[in-house]
Structure 1
């Protein structure tokens, strides 16, 4: 019997998208996977359909914006430039299962030939992805709410990153997502790095995206002065060239900050391990920020780092419960300086040991079991039920 045909859709470059890479590793055990995304073919995919990275995944053309303003959502569901290209690339290919990464991929998933089962992995609370941006809040947020209301109740499986966000989907859209955190595999070979005499080594990794407040981290290490260093492993934003240039200029002016090339997701814990404290200072611009449980939390744990986070419900709870670090009072450089100056070297090493103690518990084993359960259900060949798009 032939293996199930699985299509994995992600409007990202999967090769640098840690969550989708982990998902892909599970998908390949249950079928032959075709990926549809920006960037070239990720390892494990038997086929790949590459979307031109210059094409936006939302209907940002003049016609699309006008239709969004008029709330003609059905007419723009497949109208975004990247989605149009994806439809053309797919043609009449048929699949048994389609995985839609994030709600914006749902209209495309339901347009795929072959009446496939659809699993939607919601990386965050979709209706508020970028509501700190006025145009997004006025035009795109209502569209994303419509997409969720229109498609989520018709999906065969739904997952999201934590209980807080799952409850919001249940309350507003009547679906009950299973939880797949952003945890990564356990890295047994790492242990806390020894302290460096007279130096606290700070590190931040992730996308260099406007709103991530990386500028405040750089400003804080400059205010702290001797005894502190900051290393950045950043992925430039696909659409953020001007922001990236400004950030690089700030880094070049900072005597204590070093910029490194981005590191492959699988290599990140080892790259971060020599440092002491992972820093993340994200202001709560959106519900997703207030309820975040990001990749980097789990990156820091597997790297055996202590951590300093801006306050956020999910991370506050875990940091406090496990003694992993400190939560800042606010999100400014001054708030970060205050938190770091209050730490002793002994406390920093204690936070790193705490991360070591819970590294296996905080690994992706539970998430993989959830994904495998979904795929077993969706790839059963003796189930004749099919949805009508």
Structure 2
């Protein structure tokens, strides 16, 4: 086995995503790199902050979706299937002969692999959402995968050294269901003191939405709303195509092209989003609560919009409602339809929009990643000294 000649801890970061497009993990990597020599294990190419990278074929699923794997899920043979997913098997092969001092498992699905990494590492699991209900609006997930994810959390979380999640609502669920204490690391981005609210245009309110082009995100309803509103409004979209297939993406592109008031832009790197969004007025998102994670969301885009000094118009959601109301950052729609979004936007005067943008400017430092980085730094310091 390799000997660690460096005084810096050997840190392995596991994420079944393309980290270069995963804003939360990219921010995490910046902190990890200050504390040790980081190897990433993920889909996609090496992120800039990683010293070394082990690339998993993006065609390999991170859950046991082969016929034998699905049969084992159906029979509740979870222990035999925990390391059976194609991407997990590939990751385990890539890790052969390597030892680490600290392993960061992003999402519960990475915990079984993290538990077999050589070197007796300390393990930190960053749970980006409520794992047992990640895709509970899909019947096959609800019947087969949700019980498996519940088993993973129940089996592995009590054994690990640190656990984090995105907000207090979800942290409470983990504590009540699995008896583990969670620290909070929000999806906030770094404070941008160089940005200030852009002036309103004379002829229209400029709406913007950024994020993944994933089925179920209700992006179509935002497009429909701007078409209902007329020429006094425009919509710009900064979208990342989903790995889930080209058919949905092509349907969405066709819908965008049919809208005279909607413009699609290429994806923007997470750190560059505040600059790209700053020219707009209102960040918009209306995600129906198909799952507990939707109902309790506190997504990257909320914090991106704040750093860009935009007003915010979101559909109802526990955590975002609280922050929008506390800081008077924008408006909350009554439901998730295009008609209600259009109704809400029509009810906002230019003075309202200016006030929201100024209020975002006033809380941009408070709602930045400073507090979250402090939590991560504390965890890494503790794990490195254990």
Please give the range of the TM-score, normalised by the shorter of the 2 chains.
Answer: over 0.9
Aligned twin of 1:4: 9
Correspondence for 1:343 among 335, 348, 368? 348
3-state SS of paired residue (2:34): coil
Aligned twin of 1:386: none
Q: Does 1:361 align with 2:366?
A: yes
Q: How many angstroms apart in 2 are the aligned matches of 1:335 and 1:53?
A: 38
Aligned twin of 1:378: 383
3-state SS of paired residue (1:204): strand
Aligned twin of 2:284: 279
Aligned twin of 2:3: none
Q: Deviations over 1:304-358 (max 9, x none)?
A: 0001000000000100110000000000101100100101011011100000000
Q: Deviations over 1:78-99 (max 9, x none)?
A: 1111111101111121000000
Aligned twin of 1:295: 300
Q: Does 1:72 align with 2:77?
A: yes
Structure 2 unmatched ranges of 5 or more? 1-5
Q: How many angstroms apart in 1 are the aligned matches of 2:69 and 2:286?
A: 34
Aligned twin of 1:202: 207
3-state SS of paired residue (1:59): coil
Aligned twin of 1:270: 275
Q: How many angstroms apart in 2 are the aligned matches of 1:66 and 1:335?
A: 44
CA shift, 1:258, in A, is 0.3
Aligned twin of 2:140: 135
Q: How many angstroms apart in 2 are the aligned matches of 1:9 and 1:48?
A: 10
Q: How many angstroms apart in 2 are the aligned matches of 1:281 and 1:242?
A: 22
CA shift, 1:67, in A, is 0.7
Aligned twin of 1:49: 54
CA shift, 1:2, in A, is 2.3
Correspondence for 2:20 among 15, 19, 27? 15
Aligned twin of 1:315: 320
CA shift, 1:240, in A, is 2.7
Q: How many angstroms apart in 2 are the aligned matches of 1:50 and 1:379?
A: 26
Q: How many angstroms apart in 2 are the aligned matches of 1:158 and 1:92?
A: 27
Matched positions, count:
381
Q: Does 1:31 align with 2:36?
A: yes
Q: Does 1:58 align with 2:66?
A: no
Aligned twin of 1:101: 106
3-state SS of paired residue (2:208): strand
Aligned twin of 1:235: 240
CA shift, 1:229, in A, is 0.4
Q: How many angstroms apart in 2 are the aligned matches of 1:75 and 1:308?
A: 46
3-state SS of paired residue (1:202): strand
Q: How many angstroms apart in 2 are the aligned matches of 1:54 and 1:252?
A: 29
Q: How many angstroms apart in 1 are the aligned matches of 2:200 and 2:245?
A: 36
Q: How many angstroms apart in 1 are the aligned matches of 2:159 and 2:40?
A: 22
3-state SS of paired residue (1:379): helix
RMSD: 0.6
Structure 1 unmatched ranges of 5 or more? 384-389
Structure 1 runs of 4+ aligned residues shifted over 3 Å read none
- Is the 1:210–1:240 Cα contact (8 Å) retained in structure 2? no
- Is the 1:209–1:240 Cα contact (8 Å) retained in structure 2? no
Q: How many angstroms apart in 2 are the aligned matches of 1:337 and 1:347?
A: 16
CA shift, 1:241, in A, is 1.3
Correspondence for 2:121 among 116, 122, 125? 116
Correspondence for 1:154 among 145, 152, 159? 159
Q: How many angstroms apart in 1 are the aligned matches of 2:260 and 2:366?
A: 38
Q: Does 1:218 align with 2:223?
A: yes
Q: How many angstroms apart in 2 are the aligned matches of 1:299 and 1:307?
A: 11
TM-score after normalising by structure 1: 0.97
